[in-house]
Amino acid sequence: MINFTFLEVTNKELLEKVFAFRYKILMETYPGYVKKVGITNAKEHDKYDQYAIHFAALDEEKEICATVRLIYHSPVGYPTENSTQFDNSMFERDKLGEMSRIFVDKKYRSIKNTKIIIQAVKEFMYIKMMQEGIEYTYGYLEESFLRLLKIYKMPYHPIGAIHHDENIGLRYPCILYTEELGKANQELIKLWKQKKI
């Protein structure tokens, strides 16, 4: 079994490696998107990154093998609501965030490894959402990934019509309620209570 290391990205050097990893995954999966946004330095980043907490998984060679970010208090909005249309008036802005760039290296996309990585993502994100008072987080998810996350007890709900982007295909705007995430994963509630003590 792979011994992953999970950590919050807190220095510029590691963040640059996160951007390079994201570029690699996007080139493998959505080269049309990479071409559209005109990336020239082999690092993928956008206007939301400065308003995000970044999280990474390292493999046994200390190379990045998975990433995710939590955007919140973003004055430029969120990727989901800026990419498609739906009624976002139901969400209070100061309690809103978005989890995105959930990328896993293809060589670690087995059921066992993905489960380990997603569990670490849930633990990290739940604690951060509780600390920051984030009650709900957007997701802009393809149908197969939406199903997979539900299997891993991340109960996202579609909140708008499916949207087609010519560069990344079909996507559902979704919402994840922090309280519901905790109820579906009681160990997260226990972990939060331990952090508060």
143-153 confidence digits (pLDDT tens) = 999 999 999 99
Map residue 111 onto helix, strand or coil: helix
Domain layout of the chain by residue ranges: 5-196
pLDDT tens column, 99-113: 999 999 999 999 999
Q: Which of 55, 27, 29 is nearest to 42 (CA)?
A: 27
Q: Is the pTM of this model over 0.85?
A: yes
Residue 197 banded pLDDT, cuts 50, 70, 90: low
Quick one: pLDDT at residue 104? 96
Q: Which of 63, 87, 97, 71 is nearest to 181 (CA)?
A: 97
pLDDT of residue 85 exceeding 90: no
pLDDT of residue 21 exceeding 80: yes
Quick one: pLDDT at residue 40? 81
Cβ-count burial of 126 within 10 angstroms (0-12 exposed, 13-18 middle, 19+ buried)? buried
Lowest model confidence (mean pLDDT) among 13-22, 52-61, 164-173? 164-173
In CATH terms, is domain 5-196 a member of 3.40.630.30?
Answer: yes
Average pLDDT over residues 146-167: 90
pLDDT of residue 1 exceeding 80: no
pLDDT of residue 5 exceeding 80: yes
The alpha carbon dihedral of 110, 181, 130, 95 has a sign of positive
pLDDT tens column, 22-50: 999 999 998 888 888 888 899 999 999 99
